């Protein structure tokens, strides 16, 4: 069975928690995989990652329990073919706007006659030709997640959800907020309301739906709204938060009277002359 599909089915009441991997670094990806996340998106849309680099990322994450999802840069069959040959098992497609685009996404992941994926005998996906009957089972083992990132896409949600081969939907708050006229305001009440409505629709349709939040509080809110799988921030965002917090904790303002203490650490002296 597809690993991501299996994760969703086995999760029960425990919503799978993931993160974005934007660093394009196998070492960071492997570390994040050991941090306790259930799934992670290896991003090729906004990260400086090509197919050759993707192989190293998949090898690194394969050393962990984190289920990898590869987000391709666009709904383009040639890119998808190479990503699947590199060993991706679940593909996320950005900016899907209609049922027709969802059908094209699914077709790119399927061998004929169900789709248009090109055939190769020796690839990392086939364990270099050692997987018996790989081609016969590949179509049912590849997962497809489509991203809905505009009001128009959400209007088409019921039709997109019904496309055979679409395993799950994903609502992107950042692009949705921009498309709704609230650029940089992913938590705008109108955006949150639209996302909650989409999650409720998916529940009625029986289609898993996920999203991403920039903080634990946001993720909790999305989970309460009915999202079935959630992600928090990214490897780079989490790294920067920790780095900035550490630097800020040791930095003092110009002119501050600073006291260094083994017991209390470094702090400013509140006494006045």
Tell me which residue of 256, 182, 233 sits closest to 21, measured CA to CA: 233
How far apart (Å, rounded) are the C-alpha atoms in residues 58 and 85?
12
Coil, strand or helix at 136: helix
260 among known catalytic residues: no
Tell me which residue of 62, 42, 31 sits closest to 127, measured CA to CA: 62
Tell me which residue of 38, 145, 138, 162 sits closest to 84, measured CA to CA: 138
CA torsion, ordered 90, 10, 18, 123, to nearest 10 deg: -30
Ranges assigned E (strand) in the chain: 17-21, 39-43, 67-71, 90-93, 143-148, 168-171, 209-213, 229-234, 258-261, 265-268
Tell me which residue of 242, 202, 238 sits closest to 219, measured CA to CA: 238
CA torsion, ordered 200, 40, 182, 244, to nearest 10 deg: 140
Options 14, 46, 187, 188, the catalytic residue: 46
Q: Given the DSSP bridges, would you call strands 209-213 and 90-93 parallel, antiparallel or unpaired?
A: unpaired
Residues known to be catalytic: 46
């Amino acid at each position: 069975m597809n690993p991501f599909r299996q994760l969703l089915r086995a999760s029960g009441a425990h919503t799978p928690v993931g993160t974005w991997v934007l660093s394009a670094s196998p070492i960071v990806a492997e570390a994040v995989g050991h941090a306790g996340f259930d799934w992670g998106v290896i991003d090729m849309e906004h990260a400086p990652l090509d197919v050759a680099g993707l192989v190293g990322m998949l090898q690194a994450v394969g050393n962990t329990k984190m289920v990898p999802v590869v987000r391709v840069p666009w709904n383009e069959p040639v890119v998808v073919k190479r990503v699947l040959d590199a060993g991706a098992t679940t593909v996320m497609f950005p900016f899907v706007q209609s049922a027709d685009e969802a059908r094209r996404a699914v077709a790119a992941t399927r061998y004929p006659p169900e789709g248009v994926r090109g055939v190769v005998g020796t690839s990392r996906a086939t364990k270099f030709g050692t997987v018996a009957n790989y081609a016969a089972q590949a179509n049912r083992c590849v997962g497809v997640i489509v991203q809905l990132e505009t009001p128009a896409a959400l209007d088409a949600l019921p039709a997109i959800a019904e496309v055979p081969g679409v395993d799950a939907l994903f609502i992107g708050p950042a692009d949705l907020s921009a498309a709704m006229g609230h650029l940089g305001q992913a938590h705008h009440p109108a955006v949150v309301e639209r996302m909650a409505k989409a999650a409720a629709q998916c529940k009625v349709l029986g289609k898993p739906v996920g999203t991403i939040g920039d903080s634990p509080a946001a993720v909790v809110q999305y989970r309460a709204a009915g999202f079935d799988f959630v992600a928090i921030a990214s490897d780079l965002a989490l790294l920067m938060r920790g780095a900035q917090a550490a630097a800020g904790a040791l930095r003092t303002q110009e002119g501050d009277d600073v006291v260094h203490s083994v017991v209390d650490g470094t702090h400013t002296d509140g006494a006045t002359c």
